[in-house]
Structure formats: C-alpha cells, structure tokens
Homo-oligomer: A and B are copies of this chain.
Amino acid sequence: MASPNRRFKDAIYEQFARIGKAIAAPKRLELLDLLCQGPRTVEALAEQASISVASASQHLQVLRAAHLVEAEKKGTYVECRLADREVCDFYVSLRRLSEARLAEVRQVTGAFLTERGAMEVVEADELVRRVRDGEVTLLDVRPSEEYRAGHIPGALSVPLGELEKRLAELPRGRELVAYCRGPYCVMSIEAVALLRKKGVAARRMGEGVVDWRARGLRVERGPAGGARKRGEPARPSR
C-alpha cells in the first residue's frame, strides 16, 4: 500500500480539497460574495457579514491560505480582494449549482420574496435587450464604492440610503429597474419597495454585476458621473 500513484493522487485531491474547505463555511461564502462586488477592509467585511472582526480576520486567513483572496496593507487598513477574476466565476458557478440542485435554495428564496411582496422580477434576458434599446433606466442601489468598482453600463448610481432624498433626480418616462449585489441581496428589494411607496413604478432585477459579466456582457468601471446621457446604450461586448 501507499504506492507512488496513490500518494500522488492523495496529494492532488488534498490540494483540491483546500479550495473545498475554504468554501465550506457559510460565512466565508458570504465574504466571498461581498468581495465579488469589490475590495473591502476587514472591518467593513465583518460588519456587512454580521460577524466579529476577529472572526472575519480568521475566515479571511483561510481564504488567503487557499489563495482565493489577497490582502494588501493600505495605511491602517488591510484591503482584501479576490485573487483573480476566476474566483468570482467559480463562486457564481457554485451559486448556480446550488440553485439548480438544492430545492431548499429555491424554496427559501421564494418564501422570502413573497413575504416581502417582491414578486415581480425582471429577467436579465429581457433586460439586456431593453437596456440596449434605451427602454429602461437601471438604478444601481449599492454603495457608491461598489458602483465604482464595476457596474452595468448605463446604470445610475443611487445608493439605497440616498434614494429617498434623490427621488427628484430620477429620470421620468422610462421604466426604472433596480439592481444590487445579486439575487440574495435585499437592497434592490428595499429600493423598489421605497419607490413604490412614493408612487414611482419600479421593478427589481435579481441578477447583479457579477451575473451580468458572467453572461459575457460588458461591465463599466469608474465614478458615478452624475446623470448619464439619455440615449447612451449599454452594448454587450465580447
């Protein structure tokens, strides 16, 4: 026993399992999800994932040990980011697989969405065409740093917290569609709820920037340059 072949295979599968172990904890997945939206400090990650800073630090060390995440000192802060675009793609494929294979995911999501009264969801398939044709206005309701790190071309940056006082800025005449970090992020749900309460028609897109890019569509970087010219289309690339 313990032939060279066996030892080789054991070594290889043990390496593969390093990635597996890294994504075996719910909180680490939540951290990865957040990091897919853009770099963040340890503190910000801890707060957004509702865990202690020490706990976040430990989880991030596991992710770094698996070479999924990189960290860089920036002054007093440590900025964490995904090690590679590929990590984000892998996370998305895990999410997709979970949705496909685990009935619980669909069930929990469905129950939550109906409870929130957020039934109407725009399919991205439909949206791609309508955004290109300039039929809808996309609202990116994530924090502005995340918008800067990457957003759907043509989208307006209106962070959820500022939405109420910036209602007047919103362009009229075209349908509003809000999106946020992804299908399991609640910001766009709350944005749509707020808009409706104010009498503004709006719908929610479940997919986020990450899904948009996974479709091979172009993603734009850079600051929120105020209102975008009306007719500017968001063309798919690649």
Contacts and interface: CB of A to CB of B under 8 A. Distances in A.
A51 to B, nearest CB: 11
Interface in A40-93: 50, 66-68, 83-84, 86-87, 89-90, 93
Interface residues of A, number: 54
Nearest to A50: B6
Contact of A8 (B86, B90, B184): B184
B11 A102 contact: no
A105 interface: yes
A18 interface: yes
A108 B13 CA distance: 11
A186 B24 CA distance: 29
Contacts of A30: 9, 13
Given A17-B29, A94-B16, A101 B68 contact: yes
Given A12-B105, A30-B13, A97 B25 contact: no
A188 to B, nearest CB: 12
Given A5-B186, A15-B102, A16-B29, A86 B90 contact: no
A125 interface: no
A95 B68 CA distance: 14
A226 interface: no
A235 to B, nearest CB: 25
A74 B26 CA distance: 36
A23 to B, nearest CB: 4
Given A9-B30, A16-B26, A20-B20, 16 more contacts: A1-B50, A4-B112, A8-B186, A12-B108, A15-B105, A16-B94, A17-B26, A20-B24, A21-B24, A66-B101, A66-B102, A67-B103, A84-B100, A84-B101, A86-B97, A87-B101
Interface of A: 1, 4-6, 8-21, 23-27, 29-30, 33, 50, 66-68, 83-84, 86-87, 89-90, 93-98, 100-105, 108-109, 112, 115, 184, 186
